[in-house]
Amino acid sequence: MKSISITSTFVVYNTVEELAPEVKELMSQAVAIRKKAYAPYSNFRVGAAILLDNGKVVLGSNQENAAYPSGLCAERVAIFQAGAIYPEAKILKIAISATADDKETVEPIPPCGACRQSIAEYEFRQDVPIEIYFMGAVGKVYQSNSLKDLLPLSFDKNFL
């Protein structure tokens, strides 16, 4: 028997103001679309903004449904829309902002497991790392240079 150690590295920005202008604008769009989320059950709103290599930005917000788990997370709304509308484009960056209606979150909130797996599919397919930036409503922003930092032991087509 042996042990392995897996390390992930993130860049931490103290505020959105520290981000590069392009990323700051992307996060601004994620915050704006977050406010339009349909979240009557959880009262937890998430917004995602995706920058493609063709310069287009695709947005998504979480969409809930009374018939759990029929809703969809913001990240998957955006990434599936990007794949449907711009199937040849590569995803360069994803900005994510999340918060509860009754409590402003100050800690960065990463994508859930299902969203990580969906992002992994696109990163593997395009063979180009996707930068992922995530935050709460305010405060610090974490940057991952690849989905592999969030999901180091990924499941992909090579296992099929």
Q: Which listed residue (17, 18, 22, 75) is catalytic?
A: 75
Nearest to 45 by CA among 61, 57, 58: 61
Q: What is the DSSP letter of 97?
A: E
Give the C-alpha separation, 133 to 13, whole Å.
Answer: 10
Binding-site residues for Zn(2+) sit at 73, 112, 115
Pick out the residues of the known binding site for substrate.
62-68
- Structure tokens belonging to residue 15: 């505020």
| Residue 75 among the catalytic residues | yes
Between vectors from CA 122 to CA 119 and to CA 128, what angle results, nearest 5°? 105
User: Which residues are annotated as catalytic?
Assistant: 75
